[in-house]
Amino acid sequence: MCHCIRWTGMSWILIVLCFITQTLFAQGASREILTLDEAERLSLQDEPGMDGFNASAEALAQRATADAQLPDPKFRFGLMNFPTDTFNRTQEPMTQVQLGIQQAFPRGDSLAVKARRTEVLSGAQRELAVDRGLKILQKVRLSWLELYYWLGAQRIIGQNRGLFTQLVEVTQYQYAVGKHNQQDVIRAQLELSLLDDRLEKIGIRQEQSQAELGRWLGANHGRRPLPKQFPRLPELADRSSLEAALIEHPLIRVDRSKVIAGQQAVALAREAYKPGWALGVNYGFRGGENPNGAERADFLSASVTVDLPIFRDKRQDRSLAASRHELEAIRFARDERLRELRQKLDSHYAQWRRLGKRSALYTDTLQLQAQENARATLLAYQNDSADFAALTRARVTELDTQLKALRIRVDRAKAQARLLYLAGDVQ
Of the two residues 31 and 11, the one the predictor is more confident about is 31
Radius of gyration of the chain (CA): 40
Q: Does a structural domain hold residue 143? A: yes
Q: With contact defined as beta carbons under 8 Å apart, do 95 and 81 qualify?
A: yes
**Does a structural domain hold residue 298?**
yes
- pLDDT of res. 62: 95
Residues 177 and 294 in one domain: no
pLDDT of 354 higher than 80: yes
Check whether residue 172 and residue 214 sit in a common domain.
Answer: yes
Rounded distance between C-alpha atoms, residue 169 and residue 184, angstroms: 11
* Residue 11 or residue 330, greater confidence: 330
Which CATH number characterizes residue 268's domain?
1.20.1600.10
Domains held by the chain: number: 2
Residue 26 confidence (pLDDT) above 50: no
Polymer length of the chain: 427
Closest CA to 184 of 401, 386, 376: 386
Q: Are residues 260 and 284 in the same domain?
A: no
- State which residues form the domain around 284: 72-105+275-308
Residues 6 or more apart whose CB falls under 8 angstroms from that of 30 comprise 220, 223, 224
Which of 308, 332, 363 is at the close of a domain? Answer: 308
Verify that 301 and 173 share a domain, yes or no. Answer: no
Residue 283: helix, strand or coil by DSSP? strand
Same domain flag for 293 and 155 = no
Q: Do 201 and 295 have their domain in common?
A: no
Pairwise CA distance, residues 115 & 62, whole Å? 10
Residue 31 inside a domain? The answer is no
At 100, phi and psi to the nearest 5?
-145, 165
Cα separation, 246 vs 348, whole angstroms: 14
DSSP string, 316-368: HHHHHHHHHHHHHHHHHHHHHHHHHHHHHHHHHHHHHHHHHHHHHHIIIIIHH
Mean pLDDT across the stretch 391-411?
A: 91
Count CA within 13 A, CB hemisphere, residue 402.
17
Closest CA relative to residue 414, chosen from 157, 155, 36, 151: 36
Is position 165 within any domain? yes
Tell whether the model's pLDDT for residue 237 goes beyond 60: yes
Q: Count how many Cα atoms sit within 13 Å of the Cα of residue 154 in the half-sphere of its side chain.
A: 17
User: Is the domain of 51 the same as that of 101?
Assistant: no
Q: Are strands 96-105 and 74-80 parallel, antiparallel or unpaired?
A: antiparallel
Judge whether 6 lies within some domain.
no
> What integer is the mean pLDDT of 256-260?
95
Asked if the model's pLDDT at residue 24 lies above 50, the reply is no
Q: Quick one: how far is CA 4 from the chain centroid?
A: 59
Whether residue 149 lies inside any domain: the answer is yes
Residue 260 CA to residue 254 CA, distance in Å, equals 10
255 with 360, same domain: the answer is yes
| 142, 318, 379 from 149: Cα distances, Å | 11, 59, 32
Q: Are residues 162 and 122 in the same domain?
A: yes
Residue 5 covered by a domain: no
Q: State the chain's mean pLDDT as an integer.
A: 86
Quick: pLDDT tens for 268-325.
999 999 999 999 999 999 887 777 778 888 899 999 999 888 888 888 999 999 999 9
Q: Kindly tell me if the per-residue pLDDT of 30 is higher than 90.
A: no
| pTM listed for this prediction | 0.81
Asked whether residue 393 falls in the same domain as residue 354, the answer is yes
One domain for residues 347 and 250: yes
Question: What is the structure's pLDDT at 189?
Answer: 77
Residue 368, in any domain of the structure: yes
**pLDDT class for 179, splitting at 50, 70, 90?**
low
Q: Are residues 165 and 209 in the same domain?
A: yes
Write the burial class of residue 414 (CB in 10 Å: 0-12 exposed, 13-18 middle, 19+ buried).
buried
